[in-house]
Amino acid sequence: MLTASLPPELEQALAEATRGRSSARASADLTRRYRDPSPTAGPVARSPDDVRAYAAARLPATYAAVWIALDELRARVPSFHPKSLLDLGAGPATAAWAAAETWPTLEHVTAVEPEAEMRRLGADLARSVPSRAVAEAEWLAQTLPEAIPSARYDLVTLSYVLAEIGARDRGATVERAWGAAADALVVVEPGTPAGYERVLEARARLIELGATIVAPCPHDRACPLAGTGDWCHFAVRLARTRAHREAKEAQLGHEDEKFSYVVAARAPAPQAAARILRHPQIRRGHVLLEICAPDGARAQTVSKREGDRYRHARKVSWGDDLGE
Ligand SMILES: C[S@@+](CC[C@H](N)C(=O)[O-])C[C@H]1O[C@@H](n2cnc3c(N)ncnc32)[C@H](O)[C@@H]1O
């Protein structure tokens, strides 16, 4: 299983920002609205209670998912050391925290966020952030897609935002976000069929615009899962703090966030040899894998007779690159 943890400074800042004020009911209500968003789109969390519930119940999970996507970019393009980030639909700048953790080289952050309460939370959390770029982020209180600046940024993120943008504006948002990306654009959505569809739509448009796909796909061709009823998504496990457990009235000490994502770049990068699409099934003498490979998505059995390949297959997780 992919795993992630919050930086201790963010964990602490979140505990302070939500202490004694967020209720499990507000968190459950907000989670329900994220699962079943209004067809008219627009920001889901606006009121102080909603935003506190977001901080307590959703931000740790969105941080973990965007961190995994950024970490794929870091691992696949080790020469990439972004100095500037444009975080679109930034919320409290979750993706900026994750980017600063991934690349301490980050020097400038521009965060576009129309909701005042989200910007306020972002400013509260930023008092604890070790990254100067995040602490001194420039906030634009504006709306996508119009607000996307004409300047270029090394990295652009759209983390859990497309769901809140009406279908009519989504294409323009992705196009203009790509236009603002000097090197790379990262799109992350919930790992639901609808989130996957939005990622798929963004991926197709980015390829038309000349982008190369860095992750998760092992190719730039059409997604072999499209139209099959299956959907490409992954899961990341993160530990729950006490505040996090209380906010969700949850017993488990961890939660698993399902997400879909695409990382696009201007320069070609080495892609995965084969992406693992499900939890591997370890059986006696063999491992059953579901993979996406350059020639399509399929099941693969790795038998004990295959020696090193088998030992490797026993260790890989859903979301990993199986390798050669
Ligand atoms: C689910 S939150 C995600 C926040 C953050 N990116 C994260 O990953 O935690 C979606 C954010 O998009 C913002 N948003 C919604 N519609 C927007 C629009 N048209 N333009 C800019 N931001 C928007 C919301 O206010 C909210 O902060």
Instruction: Give the mean model confidence (pLDDT) for residues 306-311.
Output: 96
Residue entry with tokens 């609205």: 33
Tens of pLDDT along 167-218?
Answer: 999 999 999 999 999 999 999 999 999 999 999 999 999 999 999 999 999 9
Asked whether the predicted pLDDT for residue 39 surpasses 60, the reply is no
* Per-residue confidence band for 33, with pLDDT thresholds at 50, 70 and 90: confident
pTM score of the predicted model: 0.94
Task: Identify the bridge partners of residue 213 per DSSP, sorted by sequence position.
Answer: 264
The per-residue pLDDT for 95 is 98
Asked whether the predicted pLDDT for residue 60 surpasses 80, the reply is yes
Of 52, 157, 161, which is best to mutate to test ligand 1, by the most ligand atoms within 8 angstroms of its C-beta?
161
Expressed in angstroms and rounded, the spacing between residue 47 Cα and the centre of ligand 1 is 14
* Per-residue confidence band for 285, with pLDDT thresholds at 50, 70 and 90: very high
The per-residue pLDDT for 147 is 93
The per-residue pLDDT for 108 is 98
Instruction: Give the mean model confidence (pLDDT) for residues 107-118.
Output: 97
Length of the chain: 324
Is the minimum distance from the CB of 184 to ligand 1 under 6 angstroms? no
What is the chain's mean pLDDT, rounded?
Answer: 93
* Per-residue confidence band for 38, with pLDDT thresholds at 50, 70 and 90: low
The per-residue pLDDT for 21 is 58
The per-residue pLDDT for 217 is 98
Tens of pLDDT along 224-264?
Answer: 999 999 999 999 999 887 777 776 777 778 899 999 999 99
Is the minimum distance from the CB of 37 to ligand 1 under 6 angstroms? no
Percent of the chain with pLDDT over 70: 95
What's the chain look like in SS3? CEEECCCHHHHHHHHHHHCCCCCHHHHHHHHHHHHCCCCCCCCCCCCHHHHHHHHHHHHHHHHHHHHHHHHHHHHHCCCCCCCEEEEECCCCCHHHHHHHHHCCCCCEEEEECCCHHHHHHHHHHHCCCCCHHHHCCEEECCCCCCCCCCCCEEEEEEECCHHHCCHHHHHHHHHHHHHCEEEEEEEEEECCHHHHHHHHHHHHHHHHCCCEEEECCCCCCCCCCCCCCCCCCEEEEEECCHHHHHHHCCCCCEEEEEEEEEEEECCCCCCCCCEECCCCEEECCEEEEEEEECCEEEEEEEEHHHCHHHHHHHHCCCCCECCC
Expressed in angstroms and rounded, the spacing between residue 8 Cα and the centre of ligand 1 is 24
| pLDDT, greater one: 134 or 42 | 134
* Per-residue confidence band for 35, with pLDDT thresholds at 50, 70 and 90: low
Inter-CA distances, 116 with 43, 51, 92, 139, 149, Å: 11, 10, 10, 10, 19
Expressed in angstroms and rounded, the spacing between residue 315 Cα and the centre of ligand 1 is 36
Is the minimum distance from the CB of 60 to ligand 1 under 6 angstroms? no
* Per-residue confidence band for 45, with pLDDT thresholds at 50, 70 and 90: confident
Is the minimum distance from the CB of 10 to ligand 1 under 6 angstroms? no
Q: Whose CA is nearest to atom 4 of ligand 1?
A: 91
Helix axes of 116-126 and 8-18: crossing angle, nearest 10 degrees: 130
Instruction: Give the mean model confidence (pLDDT) for residues 300-324.
Output: 95
Is the minimum distance from the CB of 59 to ligand 1 under 6 angstroms? yes
Question: Hey, what are 309's tokens?
Answer: 């390949």
Torsion-angle region of residue 35: left (phi > 0), alpha (psi -120 to 50) or beta?
alpha
Question: Hey, what are 208's tokens?
Answer: 């038309």
The per-residue pLDDT for 49 is 87
Asked whether the predicted pLDDT for residue 22 surpasses 60, the reply is no
Max CA-CA distance within the chain? 60
* Per-residue confidence band for 88, with pLDDT thresholds at 50, 70 and 90: very high
| CA–CA distance, 277 with 271 (Å, rounded to integer) | 15
Instruction: From the CA of 87, give the closest atom in ligand 1.
Output: 6
